[in-house]
Every structure is written in C-alpha cells, then in structure tokens.
Copies of this chain bind each other. A is one copy, B any other.
Amino acid sequence: MTTSERKKIATEKAVDAQASALGVALVPPPAGAPKGALAAMEDEMFERIHEAVLDHRLPPGTKLKETALAGLFAVNRNIVRKVLARLAHFKLVELRPNRGAVVASPSVEESRDLFAARRTIEGAIIDCITRRVTPAQLRELRVLVKQEQEAYRRGEVRTGLKLSIQFHQALAEMAGNSVLADFLDQLIARTPLVLLAYRVPARDASCSNDEHSQILEAVATGDANRAVTAMKAHLQGLESQLNLREEEQSTDLGKILGLHRAEPILP
C-alpha cells in the first residue's frame, strides 16, 4: 500500500465521521425538482451544521473542510462557503484566512461576556415589554410556557429547549425593538455552544421553566423592576450552571503537552 493510498483512506474515514455527525448519508437529494432546490439545500446545510455544533457532535475546534462538506451534501464549494459565512456571522464557526473554517471555541471570558450581554439586552426588553404588553400577547406567552412545561414533563428535552428559545424570542418580538431582537437572536444562537462547552456534566440543561412563568407573571402585574430582576436572575441561574472558573490551566496544559486534539473526531 502506498502512502497516498493510506492517506486517502484516512481522509475518507474523517469525512465519514463528519457525515455521521451531521446525519448525512452521502447525498441527500431532495425532491426531484432542480428548481429552487439549491437554496433549500443551503438552508438544510446551515441547519444541520448548526444543530451538530450546538449538540457538540462537532466539538469546538473541529475543522470544517469545504471540499468534504461539498462532497457530503453534493453541492458546489461556493454553497459551502456561503453557509460557512452565515455560520461565522453568528460566531458559531471561525473563518481563518487561508486556513479554513473551524467550529468556534468560545473562551471563558467570551462566555461570561455573552451572558452579561444577554442580561443587559433582555433586561431592556423586559422593561420595555412590561409597559406595552397587551392581554392577547400575555395569553400567547402563557401558552408558550405551558407547552414548554408539558414538553419537559413528557421528557422531550429537544422540544422543550426549542420552546424555551421561542419564549425568549417572543418577548423580544413583542418589545417592538427590531435591533435589539436581532442582537438577541445572535446571542441565543451562541448560548448553547458556550453552555455545552463549559457545562458541568450532570445538570439539567433547560431554562427552568418555572422561572419563565415567574418572569411572565411579573410582567403581567406591570411591575417592571420585578420583571427585570426576575429575568436577570433567570439568566444568572443559567450562567451559574457553568464552571467558568478559569480552569484554563488544565486546558492549556493539555495543549502544551500535545494531548489536546484539534480535530476530535478526525484521526
């Protein structure tokens, strides 16, 4: 066996590993329509990689090779590039000129800053919403919280998390500030990454929806201060689930000793 043949096999194994991480068999061609199918594929690619990153099936630092992804999804490298740019916009991947894209590995400071930013922005959103929420909107929010609770009760964690995100986004929407809502979208997209990067293992992953209903009731009473405090406490609770205790020593040590794998699922 020549060296190039060995290498070829190694590469293919790596691609296979990423393929399984992404849940892609080899070529998932959608309905036979070659019409606007590319845009759909682009969105699907974004969603798949997005979810894989948030689930840590593609751990921070994993290299995302354009050619491999292009082959996996059976699209041109240009499409891959666009998707990677979109992911980079949300800071889920990092684009290094001439050196490819990797899954973002948020630092401890970044994680703290992110939660601080969420407290700032969601605080402002809650303050705003308390003054202008309508009864119909309150009903809508209560439905969301209820659905979330039921999802968790049924053990459907994924659904619960989705509904939890929807709750936060609905609040932003109703606050009526599109700019802040946009920023919050970016923050929400990044939150699971930092949560999973630094979470202590055996802990409940969800926004405690009990806190969600507390926030909602505070909003309903029109007491802005109480509502803002409840939201900030909620986010503080989330942050405190992490172990952001600057245990970088060990991480750095691992890197220094060459024991840290830059591409965990690749050989």
Nearest neighbor of A183 in chain B, beta-carbon distance: B183
Q: Does A121 contact B (CB under 8 A)?
A: yes
Known A-B contacts A109-B178, A110-B178; the reply to A117 vs B183 at CB < 8 A is yes
How distant is A92 from chain B, measured CB to nearest CB, in Å? 14
Q: Does A177 contact B (CB under 8 A)?
A: yes
Task: Check B113–A124 contact: CB distance below 8 A.
Answer: no
Task: Check A116–B85 contact: CB distance below 8 A.
Answer: no
CB proximity to B under 8 Å, residues A18-70: 39
Contact with B along A76-117 (1 / 0, CB 8 A): 000000000100010000000100000000000110011011
Nearest neighbor of A112 in chain B, beta-carbon distance: B177
Q: Does A120 contact B (CB under 8 A)?
A: yes
Task: Check B124–A177 contact: CB distance below 8 A.
Answer: no
Q: Does A180 contact B (CB under 8 A)?
A: yes
Task: Check B116–A180 contact: CB distance below 8 A.
Answer: yes
Contact with B along A102-140 (1 / 0, CB 8 A): 000000011001101100110010000000000000000
B contact residues around A113 at 8 Å (CB) = 176-180
How distant is A15 from chain B, measured CB to nearest CB, in Å? 26
Q: Does A187 contact B (CB under 8 A)?
A: yes
Q: Complex Cα distance A121/B187, Å? A: 14
Known A-B contacts A89-B89, A120-B121; the reply to A110 vs B179 at CB < 8 A is yes
How distant is A141 from chain B, measured CB to nearest CB, in Å? 21
Q: Complex Cα distance A109/B179, Å? A: 10
Question: A residues engaging B (CB < 8 A)?
Answer: 39, 85, 89, 97, 109-110, 113-114, 116-117, 120-121, 124, 176-180, 183, 187
